[in-house]
Amino acid sequence: MKTLYIDKDIKYIGSQLAPHWIYKNFNIQGDAIVAFCGECEVKLTEMVDIEDVINNEPIYSKYMLSFISEQFGINLVEGVLRQRLLVTCIKEALERRGVVVVRNGDDLFINNKKLSVSIATKSITSVLIHTGLNILSENAPIPVSALKSDLGIDDIKEFAIEIMEKYSEEILDIIQASTKVRGV
């Protein structure tokens, strides 16, 4: 899986969770994960999570680290498993820094405050994943924890690259593991 940290702010509005967005915008074809920082404002009209729409819960963060991944040749259930693997990679990266993190499904919490948003969906050609981590907690619509303002993680780029590399290695290792066994 290819990885890229995009070194410019991008406002995540939900429309980026679309087939070939990574390829069209960054010329990366095939399975990939990219990360970038910026404001996050997903209105109900762009919301993929129907439960959030029903509950009238748009997403907002003044400054968020977003990961977008597009992966081909897998079904939605495998995509959700890969989404949970990404969230687990993030949890482990935080734990290596001494942070106590609780994972509940695809959500991460620190001191009972939500750190992340995440969704996986199926397009006509691929599975798409977005996971966002609050960098700042100001003006959030709910109590949140944040990488910089609460956890003191200042080098967001280094943190993002670490997570993408670990996630990419995990996916490759899973694929390799599936090729070394004898069928029974």
In a domain, 108, yes or no: yes
Residue 57 is predicted with a pLDDT of 81
136: three-class secondary structure by DSSP: coil
pTM score of the predicted model: 0.95
Q: Are 45 and 53 a contacting pair, CB within 8 Å? A: no
Query: Is the confidence at residue 47, as pLDDT, over 90?
Result: no
Q: How many domains does the chain have?
A: 1
Question: pLDDT of 104-119, one tens digit each?
Answer: 999 999 999 999 999 9
Q: With respect to residue 99, please indicate whether it lies within any of the assigned structural domains.
A: yes
What letter represents residue 162's amino acid? E
Q: Does residue 102 form part of some domain?
A: yes
**Does a structural domain hold residue 184?**
no
Higher pLDDT residue, 83 or 49? 83
**Host domain of residue 81:** 2-179
**Lowest mean pLDDT segment, chosen from 13-17, 40-44, 81-85:** 40-44
pLDDT of residue 46: 85
Domain with 12 in it: what CATH number?
Answer: 3.30.930.10
Spatial CA neighbour of 111 closest among 157, 88, 80, 143: 143
Mean pLDDT of the chain: 95
